[in-house]
Each structure stands twice: as structure tokens, then as C-alpha cells.
Amino acid sequence: MNDVHPNDTRRTDVHKSDEPHRLLDVRDLEVTYANGAAAIRGVNLHVDAGQKLGVAGESGCGKSTLALALLRLLPPGSKVSGEILLDGEDVLTMKWGRVRAVRWAGASIVFQGAMHSLNAVHRIGDQIAEPILLHKKATQAGARRKAGELLEHVGLPAARAEAYPHELSGGQRQRVMIAMALACDPRLIIADEPTTALDVMIQAQILRLIEQLVSEQDLGLMMISHDLAVLSDTCDRLAVMYAGRVVEEGPATQVYENARHPYGKALSAAFPRIGDPASRFAPRGLPGDPPDPSALPSGCTFHPRCPVALDACATEDQALREAGPQHRAACVHAGAPLPAQPTSAPTTAERTP
């Protein structure tokens, strides 16, 4: 059995070249739950080594379904098609043994609400050591030592390995979740609302920690959140999801400050950046809710809520199209700045002559 080298938490084998190394390549992904809910509908996205992709959208847009699909964690009965290439290997066609290995060593997920994800009756150190024992074939002593190092790496004393989850604060528990996600040296971290349950100061600390780890180890990051301001602050690129589709994507600052899809615009207005001059304007809520994925509206699925929809939007769906340098939006208005928006979205009846 191998022991674990003390410096294993730092990646030393990273091959740097001019070509970006594609860690994740999602192609035409479709997910339909057993009840017929079409939660993901033709999603394409990618993450390169060292790149931070933010996936934004309101509750119910399909963000968590996407994260679960990436590591085949969806409930039985879900229908999945397309390709999920993790370092070139399709997760959807892998044997289960390989999927289990890839879940820790290829990509790992940091979920929101660490208290629910950690086992209340086991010490923190044992929980971090478990995947190391299992997947890295380390000795007990080696795994325990690495657990302590990982804790230090995320800013906690190694001695906290002896603590139980209830003895830690919410922020400390989230640090433990990050340490655990790093346990088997994954190349890609998927963080699903990693700071949602935390107060603003701790949230900022955790986000800086994630950024630091990603850049130090040349990892890829896919961070999921409803908060576009948090994502634009942390990530290089953003993908905005609505009703199971990516409706806007591009450089983070462009999408946040110059959204070309009315949904992206509404999300950025709903989450102004703290300390940004834009926060002088009151955040605007978007009336209505995302549609039920079992009964999607015709045409552009956003049209019933869209303040600038044309009549054609009720019948014609839009593919992603050029909206600026490396910036795409699935909207009839994508080619030009959005028209001035009425104060509230018109009803379909108001728009139909």
C-alpha cells in the first residue's frame, strides 16, 4: 500500500502549455426525470484547467440537476442523453467502478449546507480520510496525515480533525467540505451554492479560499449559484440557465454588466454588487416563476415573463447567437443592446392583438 506524500495536497504534475486543457466538455446534455420533467434541455458547456465557470439561474432552472448529472448522481428512472466528457472520458458510458473512482479523483462536488452533507457521528478527520483510504489506497496513518494537511490547507488547524461536525461553525464546516472535495486530488471542483447558508463575511472568505485553491492547483471550477453578483466576482465566464437551457453565456463581466438576454439582465438587476455604483439602484425582482419542466411554454420559454418579448417569441424558440466577443444569448434582441424595458412584464394576452 502506498503512503501519501506530505505535499500531496499541492499539485506538482500540472502540465502547462499554450493549449488550454479541457477538463469538462458537456455536449447536448438532456435530462428528463422519471415524472417527465425535462429539467435539462440541450446544454453545452465546458471548463478548462484553471478556468472558473459560473452557472446562474433562479431556483428550478436546472442547475442542481446539471451538477448531479455530471457525476451520475441522478435518481433512478432519470433519462440522460448527450455526452459528459471528463478529461476526454464520457461519464455517461463509463462502468460503475470507474464512475465511483472519477467522483473523487476526477471531479468532486461541494454541496450547500455542510451540516447535512457531513456525518454527525463521525469525527471530521475520519470523514476526510475515508475517500483517501478507499481511492488512493493510502495507509491509515497516511490518510490521517493527509486529512490534517487538507484541513490546514483550507485554513483550519489540523487538530480539528478530532472534532465532530456540531463542534464547528457553519463556515468551518464548509471549509471541511472543501477539504473533503480535495481529498483525492480532483482536477475539477463542482461547487453547488457553496456559500448560500453563510453570512456575507464568511461567504467572502470561502469564495476567496475556493479561488485560491483553484489557481494554486490549476483546477477547473464550476460554481453554481442563483446570485449573479457572487458568480461574476469569482468566475471568469458565466452561463445563465433558464428552464433547463443555457440562455446566455460569455465573459463574467460582460454577462453581469451588459447582459443581452432579458433574463440575464433581470438576474443581474436582482443581485447588485455590494459597493458597486449600480447598487444605488433598487434591486428589481422579476415577476413570476420559471416554468414547470413538465409543461413548458411554446416558443421561447421565457416569453411569458419577458418585458421585451415580441409576438413571434410566443411561437419561435431562439438558439444561442452572437451578442458580442465570446458572448452569446438566445434572444431575438441578442444582436443589439436590449430595448428599454417596461416596468413590468406584459401578460401574453396584453401582447397578443
Ligand X SMILES: Nc1ncnc2c1ncn2[C@@H]1O[C@H](COP(=O)(O)OP(=O)(O)OP(=O)(O)O)[C@@H](O)[C@H]1O
**Residue (264 or 293) nearer to ligand X, CB:** 293
CB of 267 to ligand X, least distance (A): 12
Q: What cell was used for 331?
A: 434572444
Between helix 140-153 and helix 170-181 the angle, nearest 10°, is 130
Instruction: State the cell numbers at 148.
Output: 490534517
How far apart are the C-alpha atoms of 129 and 143, rounded to whole Å? 5
Q: Mark residues 255-294: x for contact with ligand X by CB under 6 A, - for none.
A: --------------------------------------x-
Based on the shown chain and the rule CB under 6 A, indicate whether residue 65 belongs to the binding site for ligand X: yes
Q: Is 225 in the site for ligand X (CB under 6 A)?
A: no
Amino acid at 165: P
Question: β-strand 237-242 against 52-56: which pairing, if any?
Answer: parallel
The contact pattern for ligand X, residues 169-208, with x = CB under 6 A and - = no contact, is ----------------------------------------
67-261-222 Cα angle (round to 5): 20
Pick the closer one to ligand X by CB: 172 or 301.
Answer: 301
Q: How far is the CB of 301 from ligand X (least distance, A)?
A: 12
Which residue of 29, 56, 61, 177 would you call a contact of ligand X, by CB under 6 A?
61
Q: How far is the CB of 260 from ligand X (least distance, A)?
A: 21
Q: Does 75 bind ligand X (CB under 6 A)?
A: yes
Give the C-alpha separation, 99 to 103, whole Å: 6
CB of 119 vs ligand X, minimal distance in Å? 22
From 60, 142, 186, 250, residue interacting with ligand X (rule: CB under 6 A): 60
109 makes contact with ligand X (CB under 6 A): no
Closer to ligand X at the Cβ: 60 or 307?
Answer: 60
Taking the complex as a whole, the smallest distance from the CB of residue 66 to ligand X amounts, in Å, to 7
Range 99-106 contact pairs with CB under 8 angstroms and sequence separation of 24 or more: 99/71, 99/72, 101/135, 102/71, 103/71, 104/131, 104/134, 104/135, 104/183, 104/184, 104/186, 105/135, 105/184, 105/185, 105/186, 106/186, 106/187, 106/188
Distances (CA, A) of 234 to 179, 195, 215, 296: 19, 12, 12, 32
Residue with cell 453578483: 229
> Among residues 50, 54, 62, 194, which is the contact residue for ligand X, using CB under 6 A?
62
CB of 303 to ligand X, least distance (A): 18
Smaller CB separation from ligand X, 146 or 226:
226
For residue 41, CA distances in Å to 24, 62, 195, 339 come to 18, 9, 27, 28
Task: Give the helix ranges, DSSP H, for 62-188.
Answer: 63-70, 96-105, 114-117, 124-135, 140-153, 170-181
Shortest spacing between CB 193 and ligand X, in angstroms: 7
Given 29, 37, 191, 221, the residue binding ligand X (CB under 6 A):
37
Nearest distance, CB of residue 60 and ligand X, angstroms:
4
3-state secondary structure of 143: helix
Could you give the CA distance from residue 12 to residue 88 in angstroms, rounded to a whole number?
21
Q: Among 56-64, 279-287, 324-332, 336-344, which window interacts with ligand X (CB under 6 A)?
A: 56-64
Interstrand relation of 237-242 and 245-251 (parallel, antiparallel or unpaired): antiparallel
35 binds ligand X (CB under 6 A): yes
Point out which span in 53-61, 79-87, 94-102, 247-255 binds ligand X (CB under 6 A).
53-61
Shorter beta-carbon distance to ligand X: residue 215 or 294: 294
Q: Which residues bind ligand X (CB under 6 A)?
A: 33, 35, 37, 39, 57, 59-65, 75, 226, 293
